[in-house]
Amino acid sequence: MDSLGGAEFAPRSTYLNTSSCGVLPRRTVDAVRRLVEENGDGRPGGAGDFATIDASRASFARLVGVAEERVAAGGSVAVHVALIAGSLPSGSEVLFPEREFSSVVTPFTVRGDLKVRYAPLDALADAVRPGTALVGLSAVQSADGRVADLAAVRAAATAHGARVLVDASQSAGWLPLDAGAYDFTVTGAFKYLLCPRGTSFLTVTEEAQESLAPAHGGWCGAEEAQESLAPAHGGWCGAEDRWGSTYGPVQRFATSARRYDEPPSFLAYHGAEQSLALLEQIGIATVHAHNTALAARFRAGLTELGHAPVPGDSGIVAVPGLGGRQPELARAGVVVSARAGNLRVSFHLYNSDADVDRALDVLSG
């Protein structure tokens, strides 16, 4: 199987580490370089263009199946999650899978006044109970690539009146996602969405939005404000009138999820616009088929070598107890990760059968 990237990518290694950070397409590198040069030259465009934020928001919305009015743009998953954590009443119960990624869990635990429970990933739906306020989980687990049964969790949460927060950082870009099916999704876009670091997205259903007050909104994205919302540390990036809200308190915030926009990293978003357009051009279904086929080839090869990878059909492959081989692979020019004792290998559209075989060759000794 050939890569899907064609001339869009130019990695100089066998790069199998998208779960840590994606490889930037050439068009993305060019867009960032242009903005840097404009800034370095002191040209007016060097400050960055809000149109790139809006274009990236719209592109992401199409990729995950929601209206762009339900998407907030930011720079950090942890900041998005902290907004949600801060909206919960004291004493609320929050449920997570065991060994969930820190950025999903910590904003809730640092509050100190919430009840936090954990359950095995495959038993998470059964662990939802009356009184559970929110279930937070990653669609695909960072440590081992397991794909969560989101439908079961959503059904259990609905039955008990709980909200669902999904972290799509390890899935958006290769695993089809209906973000509108969950109260909140958060996505670090620098992995499978191939955006520069400093790009992240929050989706909020209209119903869930009514429970949140903008915590870092600013003049970058506001419309008519609802008088019932009281921003906790609002700023100009969520205001109705951007340039009219730069001094004094913001008077009107957006009714859309843009009220939760953070001040943007323009370098990141000028690149993100290009990366997201590329993924729309290729199609998530095509990327999913490509990535999972490579992962299946790798699992089969591992089994032949006597290793036992985590089973499943994820595009991310983890091998328990083999994390210590990561330095050896790195010396051979094969870039992978070691996570929680696992060797973690992640495939994306710039990978091919030759990359799989190269990694297996090194592991064969």
Domain-by-domain residue ranges, the chain? Answer: 6-24+282-363, 46-278
pTM given for the model: 0.93
Does 6-24+282-363 match 46-278 in CATH topology? no
Q: How many CB atoms lie within 10 A of CB 212?
A: 21
- Cβ contacts of 123 within 8 Å, gap of 6 or more: none
Residue/partner pairs of 187-191 with CB below 8 Å, 24 or more apart: 187/60, 187/64, 187/77, 188/76, 188/77, 188/103, 189/60, 189/272, 189/275, 189/276, 190/21, 190/22, 191/18, 191/19, 191/20, 191/21, 191/22
Q: How many CB atoms lie within 10 A of CB 60?
A: 27
Helix (H) / strand (E) element for 137: namely strand 132-138
Residue type (1 letter), 31: A
Q: With contact defined as beta carbons under 8 Å apart, do 159 and 131 qualify?
A: no
Helix (H) / strand (E) element for 338: namely strand 337-339
May I ask the CATH class of domain 46-278?
Answer: alpha beta
Looking at residue 303, the DSSP 8-state letter turns out to be H
As a whole number of angstroms, the distance between CA 90 and CA 111 comes to 9
Q: How many CA atoms lie within 13 A of 42 on its CB side?
A: 0
What's residue 365's pLDDT? 86
Q: With contact defined as beta carbons under 8 Å apart, do 95 and 132 qualify?
A: yes
Q: With contact defined as beta carbons under 8 Å apart, do 256 and 70 qualify?
A: yes
Question: pLDDT in tens for each of the 365 residues of the chain?
Answer: 888 888 899 889 999 999 999 999 999 999 999 999 999 999 988 888 989 999 999 999 999 999 999 999 999 999 999 999 988 999 999 999 999 999 999 999 999 999 999 999 999 999 999 999 999 999 999 999 999 999 999 999 999 999 999 999 999 999 999 999 999 999 999 999 999 999 999 999 988 887 654 545 444 444 433 322 233 445 777 777 767 778 888 888 888 888 889 888 999 999 999 999 999 999 999 999 999 999 999 999 999 999 999 999 999 999 999 999 999 999 999 999 999 999 999 999 999 999 999 999 999 98
Q: With contact defined as beta carbons under 8 Å apart, do 11 and 356 qualify?
A: no
What's residue 214's pLDDT? 52
Nearest residue to 17 via CA among 325, 343, 364: 343
How deeply is 305 buried, as exposed, middle or buried, from its count of CB atoms within 10 A (0-12, 13-18, 19+)?
exposed
Looking at residue 45, the DSSP 8-state letter turns out to be G
As a whole number of angstroms, the distance between CA 276 and CA 273 comes to 6
Looking at residue 187, the DSSP 8-state letter turns out to be E
May I ask the CATH class of domain 6-24+282-363?
Answer: alpha beta
Residue type (1 letter), 273: E
- The helix/strand/coil state of 177 is coil
